[in-house]
Amino acid sequence: MVQIGVRVRNGCGWTNWEYNNWAVVDCSGGGLLLSVTPNPANSEATLTIESEAKDESFDVNAEWDFEIFSESQLLKINKTGLRGKSTTIQTAGWKEGVYVVRVKYKPEKKPMKILTGKLVVKR
């Protein structure tokens, strides 16, 4: 996953930066990805598990957990036993900075997958 920022210049000047996450797929054909939107966030962010490969889809019965760590590697949030493709977290009151997100996805009868990403909090 790579984050790309874009802004536009017209007769009125420059717009604000707009950021979006883009999947970067290697030669293995993809897999599952962790999407964090909006990113940067100021009051809340949504974590979503997405499938990039045709032969790998999200198992709706699978459980997943996530942890978010601060820049100083302190655990900020830990949620377990989630179901569904996404969840929303509140970031209001968090210090500005870059947080590391780690998801443990446990599909039935398949090995656990670890997905990672970054969450930027700005005010």
Tens digit of pLDDT at every position of the chain (123 positions): 677 888 888 888 998 888 877 665 444 444 788 899 998 999 999 998 887 765 556 677 788 899 999 988 889 988 888 888 889 999 999 999 999 999 998 877 778 888 889 999 997
pLDDT of residue 26: 46
DSSP-assigned beta bridge partners for residue 117 = 101
Instruction: Please tell me the predicted confidence (pLDDT) of residue 53.
Output: 62
Predicted local confidence at residue 24, as pLDDT = 54
Torsion angle of C-alpha atoms 40, 42, 44, 50, degrees rounded to 10: 0
Task: Return d(Cα 39, Cα 35) in angstroms, integer.
Answer: 9
